Amino acid sequence: MSAIKKVVLAYSGGLDTSVILKWLQDVYRCEVVTFTADIGQGEEVEPARAKAQKFGVREIFIDDLREEFVRDFVFPMFRANTIYEGEYLLGTSIARPLIAKRQIEIARQVGADAVSHGATGKGNDQVRFELGYYALQPDIRVIAPWREWDLGSREKLLAYAQQHGIPIEMKHREGGSPYSMDANLLHISYEGRALEDPAKEPEEDMWRWTVSPERASDKAQYVELEYSKGDIVAIDGAKLTPAQVLVQLNELGGKHGIGRLDLVENRYVGMKSRGCYETPGGTIMLKAHRAIESITLDREVAHLKDDLMPRYAALIYNGYWWSPERRMLQQMIDASQANVNGWVRVKLYKGNVMVAGRGSPSDSLFDTTIATFEDDRGAYNQKDAEGFIRLNALRMRIAAKLKHR
């Protein structure tokens, strides 16, 4: 343990990482550098500085990564229409590779020989963080306190904090939050405690970003999204940065009760886990992106993307963002978006996102002269369908004849 001289800790300033900070100082007797990422979690991150300073931390990094998060991680993921196990929009999963990347950059900058995180030994995040660390810095040392210490319960954490003068928020003294929550610009998640019985419906007051569909406005709202190469660049005509796009879509979706999910998912470490998620902006983005692709993507390109998407989603969920296979798939996905330009109009109403129009003046493959049910003036020869059908039926006709011999 004494071989480690300096460690960069992913530090939120909460109870767990504050205990980890002091534990690293006591057990490893090394210098601790703290890193706090602002990825839109909606909490004030600056108090983490004062908490770290209290324990003698000299190098403190508090970085605003919101634009990078949406531009370089969320948007590329949504170009693939990515969902895990049919429902989950990967809000937690997609944040981890960015945090790992910045943590390694800081480790290089300050000459640290180790990094540390607060993920438990039961979850996916330990895998996501550490696969990222090793992909970006193969020889880095990783300290995962939850796999080493004996502070395996909330009571032991609180006792350790009290013993070492670590501030304890009132919510922890009163029994703690009924949920384990994680938030960023894409989503907020809820797990644990009151949600550990998958038969019970979550309480209404758990949800923080969205009103219930029953209480949402009785008036539908139309929103127009402008796309350039598969990414949203404007909402209702107003040009926005990637982070601004997601902030505005979260607000719009939230007030219409859009984006709630109650899911039992399969964790990479082998167990099933129940989680609830609010992803209002992402839910709108997914629906709208498929709509713009429907008129700009070639059929076989679209179908190939759909075939590959579950594998791409699993790579992100399991922590392989920095893997060569994910990078290879990303090149293909990004290339497919060259002509995904135009606009989509969506209708938001009581938990629903409905496409109300789409167009692409420069790249639409929708040809009304061919698709019309009226007189197409010879644009499409319906007699051609006869040979097409007979050729596609050939193998089945041969098999049927064999069966009836």
Cα–chain-centroid distance for residue 314? Answer: 12
The rounded distance, in Å, linking the Cα atoms of 399 and 380 is 32
Q: Which residues pair with 196 in a beta bridge?
A: none
- What would the DSSP string read from start to end of 376-392? -TTSS-TTHHHHHHHHH
Based on the residue annotation, tell me whether 323 is a catalytic residue of this protein.
no
**Backbone angle region of 162, left / alpha / beta, with phi > 0 → left and psi within -120 to 50 → alpha:** alpha
The rounded distance, in Å, linking the Cα atoms of 33 and 382 is 71
What contacts 371, CB < 8 A, 6 or more positions away?
A: none
| Catalytic one of 12, 18, 102, 125 | 125
| Catalytic one of 16, 38, 182, 231 | 16
The rounded distance, in Å, linking the Cα atoms of 47 and 369 is 62
| Catalytic one of 177, 180, 323, 364 | 180
Instruction: Please check whether residue 251 is in contact with residue 42, taking contact to mean a CB–CB distance below 8 angstroms.
Output: no
The rounded distance, in Å, linking the Cα atoms of 188 and 92 is 8
Q: How many CA atoms lie within 13 A of 165 on its CB side?
A: 4
Based on the residue annotation, tell me whether 16 is a catalytic residue of this protein.
yes
Nearest alpha carbon to residue 283 among 354, 340, 215, 334: 354
Based on the residue annotation, tell me whether 96 is a catalytic residue of this protein.
yes
| Catalytic one of 66, 79, 96, 128 | 96
- Report the SS3 class of residue 191: strand
Based on the residue annotation, tell me whether 273 is a catalytic residue of this protein.
no
- What would the DSSP string read from start to end of 295-338? HHS-HHHHHHHHHHHHHHHHHHHHT-TTSHHHHHHHHHHHHHTT
- Report the SS3 class of residue 203: coil
Catalytic residues: 16, 96, 125, 180
